[in-house]
Amino acid sequence: MKKFIKIPGKDFHPVLRLFLVFLPVALLICGGGYLYYLSQLRFIHEQNRKMEHETVQVGVVSINRSLEYVMQDVQVLYSNTDFRTMLDHPGKTNVDCVAADWIAFAEAKQAYQKIRWIDERGVERLRVNYADDRAYVVPEEKLLDRKGRYFFEDTNALKEGEMYVSPLDLNIENDRIEEPFVPTIRFGMPVFNSKGQKRGILLLNYYADTMLTRFEQLTGIRGNAAWLVNRDGYWLRGPSDPEEFGFMFDRNELSMAVRYPQVWERIRNAKEGQFVTREGLWSFNTLSPLKAGTKTSTGSSEIFSGGQGAHDVSSYKWKVVTLLPTSAYNADLLYWGTKIIGISLALLALFFLGILFMVRLQEMRNQLLLNLEKLVEERTEDLNKVNAVLTQSEARLKSVFENIPDLIWLKDVYGVYLTCNQAFENFFDLEEGAIIGKTDEELPGGRQPEVMRAEEKRIIEEGKPEVMEQWVTNVRTGKRVFFDVIKAPVRMPDGRLIGVLGIARDMTRRKEDEEKLQLAALVYKNSSEAILVTNARNEILAVNPAFERITGYSAAEILGKDPKILNSGRQDKAFYKAMWDTLHEKGVWRGELWNRKKNGEVYAAWLTINVVYNEDGTVRYYVELSDDFTEKKEAEDMIWRQANFDFLTDLPNRRMLLDRLQQETTKVNQSGKKLALLFLDLDNFKDVNDTLGHDMGDKLLMDVARRLMDCVREIDTVSRLGGDEFAVILTELSDLPVAEKIAQDILHSLAQPYRLNGEIAYLSASIGITVYPDDGTGIETLLKNADQALYAAKQAGRNRMSYFTAFMQAAAQNRIRLANDMRIAVFEHQFEMLYQPIVELETGKIHKAEALIRWHHPLRGIVSPAEFISIAEETGLILTISDWAFSEVVREVERWRRRHYAQFQISFNISPTLFQDKPNYADWFSELEKRNMSGEGIVMEITEGVLLVSNRHVIERLAEFHRHGMEIALDDFGTGYSSLSYLKKFDIEYLKIDQAFVRNIGSEPKDMALCEAIIVMAHKLDMKVIAEGIQNDEQKRLLAAAGCDYGQGYLFSEPLTAAEFENLLEHSDGGKS
């Protein structure tokens, strides 16, 4: 008989039992509290160590980064274009230019006390000092001879590219320490001109207080002491200003080595570390400020400084030291100690009261258990006897019930499970306890409870068994099984209804076999693929409807025949032999085959042939599946052509060009011959499109493609890259004159007239040529070179060819750099508008000006518009630049019309590309309206090339300018096409005679005659004339005598800033009106 477990300690005295239970727990609480206190102590110390270590690292990084930045600045100054120019030509103009750069540099950096160029003799040639928040050039008479000074001798002895760096000390002027104290490091490099001749040294006095202040800001953020100490223990940044740089004053007491001798000894002899003394937590690390490769004239690594003596770079070290005071290092420990003791006492009190209550409760429980124990023992003995008999009978019945493979279950009349066998439990993956007493609704996995309940009610009502077939899915396991099910009502011997008995047999395999046979028959009959089955003798046994549809043969016509009846003859015997060899070896063959239909049509078929074997390994059947994929093959061919050929001209496209280029370069590498790549662009093709329409443009492109094909050899490749761009690959060239002749033939052919539906168009082309392998061995390099050569041909005047040169590469890189810099210049306001007066020759009054843009590049200085305007037009930046420039001009003309002359005008040069790329000028006209003025103050200057296009955009834009009151000036008249028809066609108010005609009018009668003719013609057409480039009084007199209305040139004034121009108006005779 099972005994109840006795509660330990119930025979002990209650007080002793209380003590025995309470004591271990009390010790555990106290011990745990102490361990937790120690863990908090370690955590606080570890956090403080980690934070101090990070502070030291920040200090090291800060010092190193500051020194690196200074070395970079030395390199920047040495690499400056103006400085290198000055070394070649040290004239006053170049020296002044460098001085201006250095002043801007010093004021921007605010970190360099002096920037000096000392020539090879040791004489200061240029010095810029920085003091009181401004930089200035030291007058020439105050420049000093520095020959013999250690920093000059050491730096001057270095090789090109080497750098001199002095130790950190206080600046000394005139043999005295400068006051207030100026911590200084000198950085220097020898300098050489373009011929490699040494021209002295470049020397910077770095104001090291910037570095030390940043060091102090970054390391002193926790209230700790953060110091920078040299290798002798002197403070470079110490507890206070008077204690720093003690070595400069021979005061040994002003050092960490004297103040903290034992601490300094540990720090001096280690690279980095942390330790604790009575002062607190010390953290330190070592940095080598001069480790960036400095040398003296002897080639050694010694550096001499007036205050510190000689130091070896490898041993010249600084120490970054922090001290976290003991009070801060042990902060919060008292708080945690008090908190842990309080919590421990509270836990002890609570636990003591709980133990006391439990002891009292246990006394009562022990007595109750003694009374129950006796009663349970008597009752248990009686029950065991009855259970022994029932267990034996139940075991026999259960053994039979559990070993039946069918699912068996019994439910009562309410659908509650009374029992089930092991097979039922296994199928639904449930234990017996999870089933008995539950209905189908309550079981996980679900058994279609509504259907089950309806069936059981029907069986109970009819009182007879019922047989059915069911697919059952166990939602819990996902298992799906087909069952034959028998359900029957069950009654007691006295006729009372117990419930419904169910027996289910798994018939899934048989059901699946039946469905597979049905599915195979459906697939065979309805497959879109042709199916053919032959025996081992290759006699056709069966075909499906798809076979009959594809081949045109009926089953009756084909059965018993050999599949050879389908052979098209396109595959030879070797093909079929390889096919049968693969079949016999692997049992399967897949591939493309051309077959012949009954009507003789040949079609492409994709075949899969499988071998079906007997059990003994002999062949039983050959099963062939095939599909007519002729249309698919044709579609693939069409897709390939679309991907590799231009749809309009049927020439290879860029993709095919690259493929051909790869193939041809490989051939050239093997043959040793050359290859030429030509990039071709049609000149002014856009005008044809705009004038005649895109349909005519397409016809012209097809004609161009035909002419190109006529000019090249059969082995060459012509490709259309897109738009009006073409490429030609000339391969197997023994000499370059062949390529040049073909290029000349192309230029000549393309220049012939084009007849387009009754219209005649004239075009020319520009060609860029690069040669493989002379100009490059990579495909991308060839493409880039050809493009650069094409650009050069266009820039040279179009209708010509240009070979690639290395200069083009440099020019292209320069254009890219300028384009990138220009994007920055727009947002950093590097552009400035200048104004050159236009003088009325008869009166000398200034009532007009021309606006001229200038670019102040931060490194290149003034960049000419001739250099950057074309790039701006190519990149589209001309839109943004023009918008800004127009806004500036409107602002100035409004002010000058209001202050000086009510009819004052400014001429504004408008880029030809704006007529195509700028959709409208509403923003410009809005700018005028915003300032409450009409366009009468603006004269739009255009070139002859704009009028030659004469398309709808140009006509509309010029008319729009006139509607807003603006006038039009034709610039550089006589230097371009000078067609007189457009002078009649367009409303033009001013003609500007180019300075090419004005320059020699005093000595060349023909130039004077041309100027007089232009003036007379213009006046007859009611136009005013402005002569450009007037340089002397004789030119002015001759033009005035010829009746020229206005003059412009350096005789009157160079281009001026807005402020300078306004000052000119104030003091000119015609300034007010």
* Separation CA 227–CA 215 (nearest Å): 9
Whether 684 is in a domain gets the answer: yes
Task: List strand residue ranges (DSSP E) for 809-913, in order.
Answer: 831-840, 846-857, 861-863, 905-909
Question: Does 292 score more than 50 pLDDT?
Answer: no
**CA distances in angstroms from 432 to 278, 638, 672, listed in the order given:** 74, 68, 88
C-alpha dihedral sign at 11, 15, 16, 19: positive
- Residue 116 confidence (pLDDT): 96
Whether 921 and 987 share a structural domain: yes
DSSP of 902-969: TT-EEEEE--TTHHHH----HHHHHHHHHTT--GGGEEEEE-HHHHHH--HHHHHHHHHHHHTT-EEE
- Residue 855 confidence (pLDDT): 94
pLDDT tens digits, one per residue of 766-799: 999 999 998 888 899 999 999 999 988 888 777 8
Whether 352 is in a domain gets the answer: no
- Residue 425 confidence (pLDDT): 84
The amino acid occupying position 929 is E
Whether 240 and 317 share a structural domain: yes
Q: How confident is the model at residue 94 (pLDDT cuts 50, 70, 90)?
A: very high
Whether 630 and 649 share a structural domain: no
Close Cβ partners of 769 (under 8 Å, ≥ 6 residues apart) = 676, 677, 678, 739, 740, 743, 786, 789, 801, 802, 803, 804
Task: State the CATH number of the domain containing residue 655.
Answer: 3.30.70.270
Q: How many domains would you assign to the chain? A: 5
Distance linking the first and last C-alpha atoms of the chain = 133
Whether 551 and 414 share a structural domain: no
Close Cβ partners of 100 (under 8 Å, ≥ 6 residues apart) = none
* Separation CA 515–CA 508 (nearest Å): 10
Whether 631 and 649 share a structural domain: no
CA dihedral 907, 911, 917, 920 (to 10 degrees): 10
Q: How confident is the model at residue 303 (pLDDT cuts 50, 70, 90)?
A: very low
> Residues 507-523: what's their mean pLDDT?
70
Question: Does 714 score more than 90 pLDDT?
Answer: yes
Which of these three, 294, 326, 358, is where a domain ends? Answer: 326
Whether 33 is in a domain gets the answer: no
Close Cβ partners of 14 (under 8 Å, ≥ 6 residues apart) = 359, 360, 363
- Residue 313 confidence (pLDDT): 56
- Residue 539 confidence (pLDDT): 93
Asked whether 958 and 923 are in contact (CB, 8 A), the reply is: no
Encoding tokens for residue 50? 């980690």
806-827 helix and 779-795 helix, angle to the nearest 10 degrees? 80
Asked whether 327 and 226 are in contact (CB, 8 A), the reply is: no
Whether 373 is in a domain gets the answer: no
> Residues 257-273: what's their mean pLDDT?
91
> Residues 476-491: what's their mean pLDDT?
83
User: Measured at the alpha carbon of residue 684, what is the angle toward residues 644 and 865, in degrees to the nearest 5?
Assistant: 110
* Separation CA 835–CA 1055 (nearest Å): 5
Whether 508 and 532 share a structural domain: no
The amino acid occupying position 145 is D
Which of these three, 635, 662, 696, is where a domain ends? Answer: 635
- Residue 961 confidence (pLDDT): 92
pLDDT tens digits, one per residue of 910-935: 988 887 767 778 899 999 999 999 89
DSSP of 112-181: EEEEEEE-TTSBEEEEEEEETTEEEEPPGGG--B-TT-HHHHHHHTSPTT--EEPPPEE-EETTEE-SS-
Close Cβ partners of 1063 (under 8 Å, ≥ 6 residues apart) = none
- Residue 1073 confidence (pLDDT): 42
Least confident stretch, 257-261, 286-290, 351-355, 799-803: 351-355
Closest CA to 294 of 504, 67, 481: 67
Q: Whose structure tokens read 């080639």?
A: 299
Cβ-in-10-Å burial (0-12, 13-18, 19+) of 4 comes to exposed
Question: Does 300 score more than 50 pLDDT?
Answer: no
Question: Does 33 score more than 80 pLDDT?
Answer: no
User: Measured at the alpha carbon of residue 303, what is the angle toward residues 302 and 308, in degrees to the nearest 5?
Assistant: 115
> Residues 70-82: what's their mean pLDDT?
92
The amino acid occupying position 734 is S
pLDDT tens digits, one per residue of 225-259: 889 999 889 999 888 888 888 888 888 888 898 89
Q: Give CA 784 to chain center in angstroms.
A: 23
> Residues 653-682: what's their mean pLDDT?
92
Task: State the CATH number of the domain containing residue 1037.
Answer: 3.20.20.450
- Residue 273 confidence (pLDDT): 93
Whether 708 is in a domain gets the answer: yes
Task: State the CATH number of the domain containing residue 458.
Answer: 3.30.450.20
The amino acid occupying position 155 is T
Q: How confident is the model at residue 390 (pLDDT cuts 50, 70, 90)?
A: low
Which of these three, 635, 664, 685, is where a domain ends? Answer: 635
Question: Does 299 score more than 50 pLDDT?
Answer: no
Whether 113 is in a domain gets the answer: no
Encoding tokens for residue 913? 């590309």
Asked whether 540 and 533 are in contact (CB, 8 A), the reply is: yes
Asked whether 48 and 328 are in contact (CB, 8 A), the reply is: yes
Whether 398 is in a domain gets the answer: no
* Separation CA 895–CA 909 (nearest Å): 20
- Residue 806 confidence (pLDDT): 67
Whether 555 is in a domain gets the answer: yes
- Residue 484 confidence (pLDDT): 87
* Separation CA 1052–CA 850 (nearest Å): 13
pLDDT tens digits, one per residue of 998-1041: 999 988 999 999 999 999 999 999 999 999 999 999 999 999 99
- Residue 297 confidence (pLDDT): 33
Cβ-in-10-Å burial (0-12, 13-18, 19+) of 256 comes to buried
Cβ-in-10-Å burial (0-12, 13-18, 19+) of 341 comes to middle
Whether 611 and 687 share a structural domain: no
- Residue 915 confidence (pLDDT): 77
Whether 489 and 543 share a structural domain: no
In 620-680, which residue ranges form alpha helices assigned H by DSSP?
A: 630-644, 654-671
* Separation CA 1051–CA 1031 (nearest Å): 5
Identify the residue with better confidence: 711 or 952. Answer: 711
Whether 428 and 495 share a structural domain: yes
- Residue 400 confidence (pLDDT): 62
Other C-beta atoms within 10 Å of 956: how many?
A: 12
1033-1041 helix and 1005-1020 helix, angle to the nearest 10 degrees? 40
Mean pLDDT of the chain: 84
* Separation CA 772–CA 803 (nearest Å): 12
Whether 662 and 787 share a structural domain: yes
Asked whether 204 and 268 are in contact (CB, 8 A), the reply is: no
- Residue 275 confidence (pLDDT): 93
Q: How confident is the model at residue 304 (pLDDT cuts 50, 70, 90)?
A: very low
Whether 948 and 1027 share a structural domain: yes
- Residue 727 confidence (pLDDT): 96
**CA distances in angstroms from 223 to 278, 322, 325, listed in the order given:** 18, 10, 9
Asked whether 101 and 121 are in contact (CB, 8 A), the reply is: no
Give the whole-number percent of the chain exceeding pLDDT 90.
40
> Residues 411-432: what's their mean pLDDT?
86
User: Which letter, b or e, does each residue of 277-288 get, where b requires 16 or more Cβ atoms within 10 Å of its Cβ?
Assistant: eeebbbbbbbbe
Closest CA to 210 of 112, 72, 288, 135: 112
Whether 493 and 543 share a structural domain: no
pLDDT tens digits, one per residue of 969-1002: 998 786 655 556 677 778 899 999 999 899 999 8
> Residues 483-512: what's their mean pLDDT?
86
Beginning with the edge strand found earlier in the chain, give each strand of the sheet holding 497-506 in spatial order.
417-420, 407-412, 497-506, 480-491, 466-473
In sequence order, the β-bridge partners of residue 207 are 184
- Residue 223 confidence (pLDDT): 62
SS3 content of the chain, % helix, strand, coil (to 5): 45, 25, 30
Q: How confident is the model at residue 630 (pLDDT cuts 50, 70, 90)?
A: confident
Question: Does 841 score more than 80 pLDDT?
Answer: yes
Domain range enclosing 249: 222-326
In 543-572, which residue ranges form alpha helices assigned H by DSSP?
A: 545-551, 555-558
* Separation CA 234–CA 242 (nearest Å): 12
- Residue 221 confidence (pLDDT): 61
Closest CA to 848 of 1023, 1047, 1051: 1047
- Residue 950 confidence (pLDDT): 55
